[in-house]
Structure 1
Amino acid sequence: MAGASLRFLIDADHGQFYVQDLEPYDAWMDEHATDPDLPPAGWTREAVHIHRIGVEPHSISVGTARDDLVESLITLHMSAPAVESTAEHVVEADLHVLSGVLTVSSPGVDPADGPSLAVPTGLLRARVSYVPSRPPVVDTNGGPGDHFLYRIDLWPTDRASDLLVMRQGPSPWAG
């Protein structure tokens, strides 16, 4: 599986898309979705303004600079790759995968219609890099916001780690 990758366009409706181990995530949501102390999709104030990702068990929500079609690349590695030198913003978080399949969706894309990628089960480290890019080759709605390639590098780890902002992009950043 190492070296496997998935490049895709997704409608980042409401400025976000999700990378999830869907079945365990849905089971967690069945138990915790109505908890008033938990922010939806992990979007705490700090997540919105600093991390740019929301983290929940079995799920990472990637905040995007556009409410539009965005391009992303997910790559599986054996160990932590070098940090993308041209990335404006880089953040890492843990992603616990039980099923061996990650599903990509958004508020406007049903998980059954989104792309998926086979990955090892267990604890993965996910590095989300915001790499400035050109607009996708397809028509977009022409709305505001910078274009980025949302690069997600994954690798197995045996040690849980805290969320880490490795490179802080400018603020405000979207729009």
Structure 2
Amino acid sequence: MLLRRIAAALVAVLAIGGFQAVTAAPAAAAPRTLYYDASQAQEFKSVVDQGAQIWNSRVTNVRLLPVPAGSTPNIRVYADNGWPRAQTTSLGNGRWYMGRQAVNQGYYQPRIAAHEFGHLLGLPDRRTGLCTDLMSGSSAPVSCTNAYPSATEASTVNRNFATTASVPAGTFIWS
């Protein structure tokens, strides 16, 4: 009680003297930048860029950008004839494949790209079958054209990159 009175008196004296007590709000951390290399994505390069922009429009704690010349990418993207799949080495690092098998079956290409980026951002497959869940992958109907993460998926990614969270290495396959 005595300490509170002394503190209040000190604040009053300082205020009379023209001093103001200011508490600074904690500074927001700058988003973590992850660089991706889509040079091996062949005909899907623009779709890869679109997938990155989808995430950039929905999350604030991480940015996906094309790798600058002379730099090492966090993420490498390839095209092949198999199923889309991702191989993570750690949170924000690894590679993913834009597999033509899913494209040939009619799956929406921007959804595939955003989904595979989601794995590198720390999200597992969630076979809910719902088009509203980006990470439901191929369990959603082929007719699904939603390429945007749900609010829950976006907030999970923001949480992943708000701290030094780690995600174990793993392989995720679209089918």
TM-score calculated relative to the size of structure 1:
0.30
| Greater share of helix | 2
Name which structure has the greater RCO, CA cutoff 8 Å, separation 6+.
1
| Greater share of strand | 1
Larger radius of gyration: 2
TM-score calculated relative to the size of structure 2:
0.30
